[in-house]
């Protein structure tokens, strides 16, 4: 077995495996999350392909003649949408009818009649006050409808939801195939055999990305920086950035991180050129400029061709790549070329490639490249918390349930 780097518990070796469960003729409640795939404002499926993460677990259960109850969440408590419109998309994905249950039966004695279909989609759990409150009584209500519990939601593991914390103690419980793959892929980032390790940082919100890079600096061979956060780094080096986005309060930490990369012999690559615009608008006049030549009052909105070529060179040599954040203002088509080009380079790479963040993952799906990546994790917050701390409440609940059964 490859030697592991210290720092993370190896959950993928200890989580109870769904493949080992006896599920024939059993009602199986599958906890999942539709936040990445569904518009939280309307409840409509925004990116249909992002529902595909559920397919392996659901197909395994259906092929073994289980009756599946999908227990999802989407959005946030207090502003969560109905998920009735998701049922037709799931029917298309699975090739079976998916019944939508707008309300839970008042008690489990009615569940066999209400949940007799092969697949039932429950209403958004966040519309139930007991879910976000971590109410054990609500978890017991859910447990009454099923014989087994499967957690297939990595993002839900970050929260102390009733269904995540308490159901593993109330029913025989297992990790879904997607959740298991998530753990395995993130832990592979720290496998010594996956060198060189390349970290690609983009988007904005530099603070968390600084913490991630500093946490694993000694293990990272190359850091490639693009997107809005690149201009905080450039500004910290007294390089003119025009009107580009800068987090002024983080200029000193950004400067210090470059120095720490040098001390760690980690290659730190900032954009060599930029696509700039007079206004933050899809209709604005644009100009390609070198690293130090962003005009005053112009916005840098994408990495340029020289930068893409430099990134591609690093990717070709990589053994493992972790990508977090788009490399331009992808909400405007004309400023998404850098992100699309890097996604294409990663799709061709032989490296273990993991991407996180909703915008990054949606861009990869939109380019039709999702199946070329080792793993895509839309919930960057949960991925970062796991990498930074090595633990999540939902994972611990599953692990504890396994120990109690033994």
Domains of the chain: 13-180+392-405 (3.40.50.1260), 195-350 (3.40.50.1260)
Other CB atoms within 10 Å distance of the CB of residue 254: 22
- Predicted local confidence at residue 298, as pLDDT: 95
Structure tokens that stand for 179 in this block: 């959740």
Residue 203 has pLDDT above 80, yes or no: yes
Q: Cβ atoms within 10 A of the Cβ of 226, count?
A: 28
Residue 405 pLDDT greater than 80, yes or no: no
Percent of the chain with pLDDT over 70: 93
- Whether 113 has a pLDDT exceeding 80, the answer reads no
Q: What is the pLDDT of residue 61?
A: 97
Backbone dihedral angles phi then psi of residue 225, each to the nearest 5 degrees: -120, 130
pLDDT value at residue 391: 84
As a whole number of angstroms, the distance between CA 169 and CA 226 comes to 44
Residue closest to 87 by CA, chosen among 147, 43, 148, 137? 43
């Amino acid at each position: 077995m490859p030697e592991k780097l210290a720092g993370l518990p190896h959950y993928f070796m200890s989580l109870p495996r769904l493949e080992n469960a006896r599920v024939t003729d059993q009602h199986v409640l599958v906890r999942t999350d539709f936040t990445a795939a569904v518009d939280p404002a309307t409840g409509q499926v925004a990116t249909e392909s992002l529902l595909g993460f559920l397919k392996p677990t659901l197909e395994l259960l259906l092929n073994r003649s289980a009756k599946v109850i999908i227990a999802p969440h989407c959005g946030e408590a207090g502003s969560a949408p109905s998920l009735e419109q998701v049922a037709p998309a799931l029917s298309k994905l699975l090739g079976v009818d998916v019944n939508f249950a707008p309300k839970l039966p008042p008690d489990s004695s009615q569940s066999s009649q209400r949940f007799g279909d092969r697949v039932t989609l429950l209403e958004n759990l966040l519309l139930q006050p007991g879910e976000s409150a971590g109410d054990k009584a609500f978890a017991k209500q859910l447990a009454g409808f099923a014989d087994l519990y499967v957690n297939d939601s990595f993002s839900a593991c970050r929260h102390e939801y009733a269904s995540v914390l308490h159901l593993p103690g109330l029913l025989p419980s297992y990790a879904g195939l997607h959740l298991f793959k998530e753990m395995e892929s993130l832990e592979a980032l720290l496998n010594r055999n996956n060198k060189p390790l390349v970290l690609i940082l983009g988007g904005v919100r530099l603070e968390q990305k600084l913490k991630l890079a500093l946490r694993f600096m000694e293990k990272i061979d190359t850091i490639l920086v693009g997107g809005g956060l690149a201009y905080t780094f450039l500004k910290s080096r007294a390089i003119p950035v025009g009107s580009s986005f800068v987090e002024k309060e983080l200029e000193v930490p950004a400067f210090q991180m470059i120095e720490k990369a040098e001390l760690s012999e980690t290659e730190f690559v900032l954009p060599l050129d930029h696509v700039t615009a007079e206004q933050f608008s899809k209709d604005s006049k644009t100009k390609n400029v070198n690293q130090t030549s962003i005009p005053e009052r112009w916005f840098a909105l994408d990495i340029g061709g020289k930068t893409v070529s430099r990134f591609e060179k690093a990717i070709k040599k990589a053994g493992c790549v972790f990508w977090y954040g788009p490399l331009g203002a992808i909400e405007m088509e004309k400023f998404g070329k850098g992100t699309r080009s890097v996604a294409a380079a990663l799709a061709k790479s032989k490296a273990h490639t993991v991407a996180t963040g909703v915008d990054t993952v949606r861009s990869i799906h939109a380019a039709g490249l999702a199946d070329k990546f080792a793993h895509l994790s839309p919930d960057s917050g949960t991925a970062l918390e796991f990498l930074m701390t090595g633990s999540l409440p939902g994972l611990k609940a599953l692990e504890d349930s396994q120990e109690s059964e033994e």
